[in-house]
């Protein structure tokens, strides 16, 4: 019931206006979203880099069913990359792209449209001196995303992948992607997936995360450990040491506004930390959908507002 209510609310313009004017909503948005414009995203990246933190910037938007909107989103990334380059920030800032935002859902040709748009962004990123990472979405799109990744890596081998530990298939995907030069972001997963494809209990998800992490740390690629969980961070550090990985041969990733003091602590230890920075005028639907995908996240966001540790 809560999930359905959140999804319904995400489509309500009246509720959007109401929520947007509430003080607590303003606090949530300003903490978890860098702003609505490319300039605000660039400024967030600048502040992070000043603190020794790298960034991966996501232009908000997904499930695009309009060809023109997919093109606008692609162009938004080109603008962002141009401004990051002009500001001298691409040494520490990359971009994250959802294929659903750049055309994958546009009928039979959707995957090709998304691939073409992703190639355009990848070329712009390469010219700017940085790269992109393909975000992962629902389990029904995993094969499509990995197919696009494979094609992109023919010309842009530095393109990053994302794998979600709670999917039963992910250990096998980790083995396939743990090769030299492969950048792989491992996260727990935030979608409301059915039991036949994903672990449901938090402890089972954590154990799956560790199994996947062992594969990536033992491999020849570049693991990007996306978690805020202190235990998993400690385990990741121990596995890196066990496999004689130097700092700089892997990184930690955290969300913008979540555990900023922990981000700084890890940087002080010499670790590479990258912050996932969302921006754009679709912040309302973004937050509501994140909550709807996994209603337990509601408490997570509330607790995050109460502590900055």
Catalytic residue among 104, 185, 274, 290: 185
Residue 304, both tokens = 């995050």
Active site residue 39: no
- Encode 79-137 in three state secondary structure: HHHHHHHHCCCCCCEEEEECHHHHCCCCHHHHHHHHHHHHHHHHHHHHHHCCCEEECCC
Inter-residue contact 135 to 172 (CB < 8 Å):
no
Inter-residue contact 133 to 185 (CB < 8 Å):
yes
Catalytic residue among 104, 119, 135, 183: 135
Task: Give the alpha-carbon dihedral of 278, 147, 202, 292, to 10 degrees.
Answer: 50
* Of 127, 54, 67, 123, nearest in space to 94 by CA: 54
What are the phi and psi torsion angles at 233 (to 5°)? -65, -40
Helices assigned H by DSSP within the chain: 2-10, 13-21, 23-32, 38-50, 67-86, 110-128, 142-155, 170-177, 202-218, 230-242, 260-268, 283-293, 297-306
Active site residue 185: yes
The catalytic residue positions are: 135, 185
């Amino acid at each position: 019931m809560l999930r359905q209510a959140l999804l319904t609310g995400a489509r309500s313009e009246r509720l959007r206006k109401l929520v947007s004017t509430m003080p607590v909503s303003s606090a949530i948005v300003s903490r978890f979203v860098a702003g609505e414009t490319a300039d605000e995203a660039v400024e967030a990246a600048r502040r992070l880099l000043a603190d020794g933190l790298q960034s991966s910037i996501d232009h908000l938007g997904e499930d695009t069913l309009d060809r023109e909107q997919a093109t606008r989103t692609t162009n938004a990334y080109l603008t962002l990359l141009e401004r990051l380059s002009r500001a001298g920030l691409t040494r520490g800032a990359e971009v994250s792209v959802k294929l659903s935002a750049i055309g994958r859902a546009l009928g039979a040709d959707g995957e090709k449209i998304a691939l073409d748009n992703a190639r355009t962004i990848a070329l712009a990123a390469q010219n700017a001196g940085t790269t992109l990472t393909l975000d992962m979405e629902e389990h029904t799109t995993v094969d499509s995303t990995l197919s696009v990744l494979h094609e992109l890596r023919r010309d842009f081998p530095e393109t990053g992948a994302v794998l979600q530990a709670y999917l039963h298939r992910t250990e096998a995907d980790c083995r396939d992607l743990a090769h030299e030069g492969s950048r792989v972001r491992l996260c727990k997963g935030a979608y409301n997936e059915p039991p036949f494809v994903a672990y449901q209990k938090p402890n089972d998800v954590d154990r799956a995360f560790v199994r996947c992490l062992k594969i990536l740390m033992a491999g020849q690629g570049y693991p990007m450990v996306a978690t805020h969980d202190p235990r998993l961070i400690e385990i990741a550090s121990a596995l890196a040491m066990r496999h004689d990985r130097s700092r700089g041969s892997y990184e930690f990733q955290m969300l913008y506004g979540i555990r900023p003091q922990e981000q700084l602590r890890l940087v002080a230890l010499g670790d590479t930390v990258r912050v996932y920075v969302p921006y754009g005028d679709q912040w309302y639907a973004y937050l509501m959908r994140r909550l709807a995908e996994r209603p337990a996240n509601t408490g997570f966001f509330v607790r995050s507002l109460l502590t900055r540790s």
